[in-house]
Amino acid sequence: MKPEARIKELTEIINRLNHEYYVLDCPSVTDQEYDTLMLELQELEKEHPQWASPLSPTQRIGGQVVAEFAKIAHKRMMLSLANGFEKDDVLAFDRRVREALGVAEVTYMTEMKIDGLAMSLLYRDGRLVYGATRGDGTTGEDVTANIMTIRSIPATIPVTDEIEVRGEVFMSKRTLAAINEERAAANEPLLANARNAAAGSIRQLDSRIAASRRLDAYWYYFVNAASFGIKKHSESLLFLEKLGFKTNPERRLCHGIDEVLSYIDEYAHKRPRLGYDIDGIVIKVDALDLYERLGYTAKTPRWALAYKYPPEQVVTKLEDIVFTVGRTGKITPNAVLTPVRVAGSTVGRATLHNKDYILQRDLRIGDQVYLHKAGDVIPEVIGPLKERRVGTERVFKMIERCPVCEAPLEDVEAIAYCRNPRCDARHIEGLIHYAMKDAMDIEGLGEKNVEYLFNQNLIRAIPDLYHLQEKEQALLDLDGFSHKSVASLLTAINQSRAKSLERLLYGLGIKEVGEKMAKTLARHYETIDRLMAADAEDLQTIGDVGPVVAASIVRFFADENNLTLISQLREAGVNMTYLGPKMAARSSPFFGKIVVLTGTLSQYSRQQATALLEELGAKVTGSVSAKTDYVIYGSDAGSKLTKAAALGVAAISEDEFTNLLSST
Residues with a known catalytic role = 113
In single-letter form, the type of residue at position 579 comes to L
Q: Which amino acid is at 585?
A: A
Dist. CA 91–CA 73, nearest whole Å: 36
Distance between start and end Cα atoms, the chain: 65
**What SS3 string covers 581-645?**
CCCCCCCCCCCCCEEEEECECCCCCHHHHHHHHHHCCCEEECCCCCCCCEEEECECCCHHHHHHH
In a 13 Å sphere around the CA of 297, the CA atoms on its Cβ side amount to 12
| Dist CA 169 CA 245 (whole Å) | 13
- Please report which residue ranges of 287-406 form alpha helices under DSSP H: 291-294, 355-361
Contacts of residue 659, defined as CB under 8 A and 6 or more positions apart, other chains included, come to none
Q: How far apart are CA 636 and CA 645, in angstroms?
A: 15
Residue 86 identity: E
Instruction: Give SS3 for 477.
Output: coil
Q: Is 103 exposed, middle or buried (0-12, 13-18, 19+ CB in 10 A)?
A: exposed
CB 149 within 8 A of CB 60: yes
Residue 247's contacts (CB-CB under 8 Å, 6 or more residues apart) are 218, 219, 220, 237, 240, 241
